[in-house]
Every structure is written in structure tokens, then in C-alpha cells.
Amino acid sequence: MHLKDKVALVTGAAQGIGRAFAQALLEKGCKVALVDQNVEVGKASKDALDKQFDVQRTIFIPCDVSNEEQLKDAFKKVVQHFGKLDILVNNAGVNNEKNWEVTVQINLISMIRGTYIGLDYMKTENGGSGGVIVNISSLAGLVPVAHQPVYCASKHGVVGFTRSIAMASKIGNYGVRINTICPGFVNTPILQSIDKEENMGQYSAYKEEIKDMIKFYGILDPPLVAEGLIKILEDDALNGEVMKITTSQGIHFHEYTPLPFQSTKQ
């Protein structure tokens, strides 16, 4: 996909990885809707981006992605404002092992809902002109993590859903490529949640062990994850892929053995 003048909706774009995605997309000439529940930080990010890019190229939309009506409304606003939707990045996520249902709701259920709403707008059979969806998982979507079992389950869900819906898209000729990114630890505010009892609950006692793990694996910077996103968006051959980003190997892809059953339409 050529990115110039494409319209992107990024959830969780107020800060962290989502904010780096918005920056990279704008640098490529996209128009970007920053969708986030954090109004203060979201507005501040839009203001900062307005100092670098034409103010018309971004819009901030306050939205709790776990609220179905607000999420649907956010998509509607993007299409009303920019006239179309070409790229969707389901990035909003939390780490909460105490109120673990919230983690499943935001990281998994809202990502699934976002993908379906995005497909409604982009699918060629609905009159859309196709597009690309990228769902943000984590390395915790591929390996077990002792002290974040629910976060880990939610991110495994992102990988399973994305690979499956990507196959459905190909078989059904939706005209939409769907991929996922699994980064290692990234230097963003979410890492502060490890120190908080209200986030870690019964696993709070193990926070030093998690910190040792972070030291062992190292920490990525958000712009590298954004580089991975741009690579997925620009390479039209990629669908159903699981991109891993690590300090040791940089941007690379997870390899799976081919499935024994192949649809004749694949």
C-alpha cells in the first residue's frame, strides 16, 4: 500500500507505541485519527503533532474502546471527517491482573470488535476499497508469562484471532490484509503498571522478578515498533503474519509449520 493520503485510525494513540505509530504514519503522508480514552494526553499529543504536521491531517477522538457505542461512533467520525478508512491499528491495551476481566475486555474483545467494525467499512463487498488492519499483540502472545497469565492469554487471543480472520479475509476476498505485531518490552508508561498493586494484584510480590526479566531481554524504543508497522502496511504480500520485534533480532517474523488442510481458495 502506498501510504500517502491514506486515512488511518489508531486506538490507544495518545501515548506510548500508539503515539509513535501516529508520528510514523504522518511522516509517510497519512491522515491519522488518534482514538484514546485519555482526553488530556490525547489532546496534548494532537497539539504536539500539529507543530510538526498540517493540523488538518490529524483528529483526536475521545473514546473508550471497550464501550461498543463509543467505538462505533469513533469509526463513524473518522469516515465523516476524512471521507474514508484505509488503515486500522487496534493498539489500545492494558496490563491488569487484578481486574483481569478488564484486560480481556480491552486487549481481546475490543480488538475483535474493532476488527469487525473496520471490516464493515473496508471490505470490498460492502463497497469499501479494501485496506490493512494491524492488531497489536506482544511476545506474551507467543510464550507463557508466569506473573501475567491474563495479559498473556489476551495477547495469545490477538494472535489466534488475527491469523484466523486473515485467512477468512483471503478466502472471502475482503480486500483487507490483517496482521499482528508482537513486540518485546517497549519503553512506554505501561511498564509502570508492574510496580502497582492495583494492576498486578496477587502477582505484586513478583515484580522484582519481572524487572529482572526486563533487564535480561532489554527494552525496545517505540519508533522501532512503528518501523515494523510501516513495513507491514507497505508490503502488499503480508497477510496473517506474526511480526516479532526483539532487542536481539530486531524486526522479524514468527515461523509456523504449514497446516495440513489447505482451503482450495487460499
200 part of the interface to ligand NAD, by CB under 6 A: no
114 part of the interface to ligand NAD, by CB under 6 A: no
Sole binder of ligand NAD in the list 114, 183, 228, 240 (CB under 6 A) = 183
Q: Which is nearer to ligand NAD, 128 or 179 (CB)?
A: 179
186 part of the interface to ligand NAD, by CB under 6 A: yes
The yes-or-no answer on residue 151 being catalytic is yes
Sole binder of ligand NAD in the list 9, 28, 37, 241 (CB under 6 A) = 37
Q: Which is nearer to ligand NAD, 7 or 17 (CB)?
A: 17
CB of 225 to ligand NAD, least distance (A): 8
Q: Which is nearer to ligand NAD, 170 or 207 (CB)?
A: 207
Pairing of strands 250-253, 242-246: antiparallel
Q: CB under 6 A: which stretch of 24-32, 178-186, 204-212, 247-255 binds ligand NAD? A: 178-186
CB of 97 to ligand NAD, least distance (A): 13
185 part of the interface to ligand NAD, by CB under 6 A: yes
Sole binder of ligand NAD in the list 23, 58, 66, 103 (CB under 6 A) = 66
Q: Which residues are catalytic?
A: 151
Instruction: List interacting residues with ligand NAD (CB under 6 A).
Output: 11-12, 14-18, 36-38, 63-66, 91-94, 106, 136, 138, 183, 185-186, 188-191
